[in-house]
Structure 1
Amino acid sequence: MLTTTRRMATLLAAAASVRSATAQETRYPDRSVTIVVPAAPGGGGDFAARLLGEGLTRVLGQAFVVENRVGGGGSVAATAVARAAPNGYTVLLAYSGTHVAFPALFPNLAWDPVRSFAPVALVLRAPHVIVVRKDLPVRTLAELADYARRNPGRLTYASSGAGSIQHIGGEWLAGMVGAPMLHVPYRGAGPAMNDLVAGTVDLMITTPPAVVGLLRDGAVRALALASPSRHTMLPDIPTTAEAGFGELELEAWFAVYAPADTPPPVVNRLSEAIRQVTADPVFRRRSEESGTTPAYMDPAELAAFTQSELIRWSELIRRLGIQVE
């Protein structure tokens, strides 16, 4: 009789726990949510996170607060979210340059792009644009290539960190040009862009949100868009194919991931809210004005996309022979 009573008590406690968890998931979110972004203020990732946060705050009725976690080219942010409580209140706005390139560069990461996270939604896609300091004596990609060959090793290019997509793109460009360029890593795209504007470094390959305003002000000069087609907000900038470097195509993306084991109802609720945000005309207009494109994927689609991107970037890094100490 005692055993039966204990068994019933255990079952009732378990059922109560399940009801409590289900109720919490149904109420999600009932407090503020932190979007951890692996970028300093002013970079493309920071812009994307703040634009998304504004939309989610409106749709879900709770504050979505952006937290900038720089360092390790984005690894500091990824590690923080991977170790966070799996309840949907701390999520990562991942940048593809970190999320799918780093595993091929750093074998001992503290996080895994698949096992450490629950895919939530793809948010934005963004081509990369090749920009130079305003007083560099080149105005086309062909002139840059000629300048680099005449000054081997003297051209410097900035990135948001060793192993970042800007680093990979710089090495890819140097290989196509046939002349070495000096890599200068920074702790985020914002500080790197600041030094490009100041003339401390010569060039950078980055996403449009970080440079659209600077281009309008004449603070930097764009040479080419590493994309198969021109962008409506950058209509005068030729593609790399038009400039004679068709193989060089770099498209970044921004996606939301939650810690692994986050309950599916929480993941699905957040994903659906992101779908609504990315379909909103104001969000679409603001993102397109920045040079990015809304591109929603649900959790299952993002999971498959992440796997395919891991393969693609691993093959590119191996082909370029990029190694990071």
Structure 2
Amino acid sequence: MQRQQFLRSLAALGLGTLAGTARAQATRPASIRLLVPYPAGGAADQITRLVATEASQVLGIPFVIENKAGAAGMIAAEAVLRAEPDGATFYVGANAPMVINQAIYAKMPYDPAKDFVPVAGMGKSPLLLVTRKDLGAASVAALAEQARRQPAPLSMGSASSGNITHLAGEYAASQLGFKVMHVPFAGSAPAIASMMGGNVDIMFDALPSCLQQAKAGRIVPLAIMDGARFPQLPEVPTLEELGHKGLHASAWFGIVARAGTPQASIDALNRAVNTALQRPELAERLRNIGAQPMPGTAEQFGQFIAAERRQWMPLARTLGVKAD
């Protein structure tokens, strides 16, 4: 009886420690494919690659990262939904494709609440208000005053329409008392590159894709959209300490699966990601790029996504934000 219980326990591990049993060989994929809905170099890509490297070591199988940008994350989402729900293909969910798109697109090719199930959070990063060097605004107050004085609105880059860098930027600008002209890009990396080229005035960007440029002085950091200053930019205040209460926003990234994916695969990948996030080396690497680990169960990640929907979807509708 004890031997049978032991074997059943091993079988329940799915992707985990079952390599030596026949059932493990049948359910264990040769590799895990993660589709990232944004280009290489941005926050989603950096966080995914760091976490996947460690989680791959935990599981003992390779992770294949595919950057499939476009349509505010919906192209990659559709690709995952076309794949077999066999525990080999997963989607890197984020604010826009899992939450905001529903509020700004009249029609979507999928329902994120029904067609996907949560697997594991990976990391989140507060947004940083940055400007191009030659804009001439050295503080949030100076930026708002300049924006109100000039006849044309400031141009605001974003990682795509509906991205948190879009919606939070629109919201923050409205609270700071000025208007912006939204300029969407296919990811944060090209948006920041355009800003450094003098083509975009401001951006509310996730730290991993702008931190190094801000530290190097290639763009000007003005404020963090969080409750505390970021250790690698200690001189940059939060919007809250400047008197703008409640102006918090973070880009977040986690793994979701197509509905119907075996629970054993979901549980095993969740365990691998959480084991990876508990490693001090990974936590330090995430902090160094401007991100915070997001450990927890699949259920907790699902609850987090539901809370994000309650916060951002009504706000998008109130602001009248639509896909450009």
TM-score for the superposition, normalised by structure 2: 0.89
Conserved in 2, the CA contact under 8 Å of 1:31 and 1:63? Answer: yes
Conserved in 2, the CA contact under 8 Å of 1:140 and 1:243? Answer: no
Q: Report what 2:179 is aligned to.
A: 180
Q: Deviations over 1:123-167 (max 9, x none)?
A: 112111111111210111111100100114341110111122111
Q: Report what 1:148 is aligned to.
A: 147
Q: Report what 1:86 is aligned to.
A: 85
Larger Rg belongs to: 1
Say which SS state the counterpart of residue 168 (structure 1) adopts.
Answer: helix
Conserved in 2, the CA contact under 8 Å of 1:148 and 1:177? Answer: no
Task: Quote the offset at 1:231 in angstroms.
Answer: 1.6
Conserved in 2, the CA contact under 8 Å of 1:123 and 1:297? Answer: no
Match of 1:26 among 24, 27, 47: 24
Conserved in 2, the CA contact under 8 Å of 1:59 and 1:277? Answer: yes
Task: Quote the offset at 1:182 in angstroms.
Answer: 1.0
Task: Quote the offset at 1:201 in angstroms.
Answer: 0.5
Q: Report what 2:51 is aligned to.
A: 52
Q: Deviations over 1:80-106 (max 9, x none)?
A: 112221112111111123311111112
Say which SS state the counterpart of residue 114 (structure 1) adopts.
Answer: helix
Distance in 2 between residues matched to 1:180 and 1:273, nearest whole Å: 44
Task: Quote the offset at 1:25 in angstroms.
Answer: 6.7
Q: Report what 1:264 is aligned to.
A: 263
Task: Give the direction of change, closer, same or farther, for the CA distance of 1:173–1:309 in structure 2 (3 Å limit).
Answer: closer
Q: Report what 1:202 is aligned to.
A: 201
Q: How many residues align?
A: 306
Distance in 2 between residues matched to 1:125 and 1:171, nearest whole Å: 20
Q: Say whether 1:229 aligns with 2:239.
A: no
Q: Deviations over 1:18-69 (max 9, x none)?
A: xxxx978734544121111111111111101111111122111111111101
Distance in 2 between residues matched to 1:100 and 1:82, nearest whole Å: 17
Distance in 2 between residues matched to 1:118 and 1:290, nearest whole Å: 28
Distance in 1 between residues matched to 2:81 and 2:150, nearest whole Å: 44
Q: Report what 1:110 is aligned to.
A: 109
Say which SS state the counterpart of residue 296 (structure 1) adopts.
Answer: coil
Say which SS state the counterpart of residue 124 (structure 1) adopts.
Answer: strand
Q: Indicate the RMSD between aligned Cα atoms, in angstroms.
A: 2.0
Task: Give the direction of change, closer, same or farther, for the CA distance of 1:25–1:193 in structure 2 (3 Å limit).
Answer: farther
What are the ranges of 5 or more consecutive residues in structure 1 without an aligned counterpart? 1-21
Runs of 4+ in 1 over 4 A off after TM superposition: 22-25
Distance in 1 between residues matched to 2:198 and 2:147, nearest whole Å: 17
Task: Give the direction of change, closer, same or farther, for the CA distance of 1:139–1:113 in structure 2 (3 Å limit).
Answer: same
Task: Give the direction of change, closer, same or farther, for the CA distance of 1:284–1:266 in structure 2 (3 Å limit).
Answer: same
Say which SS state the counterpart of residue 193 (structure 2) adopts.
Answer: helix
Q: Deviations over 1:275-322 (max 9, x none)?
A: 101101111000011111112121111222222221211121122222
Q: Report what 1:316 is aligned to.
A: 315
Conserved in 1, the CA contact under 8 Å of 2:104 and 2:317? Answer: no
Task: Quote the offset at 1:178 in angstroms.
Answer: 2.6
- Give, as a single letter, the amino acid of the residue that structure 1 aligns with 2:204: I
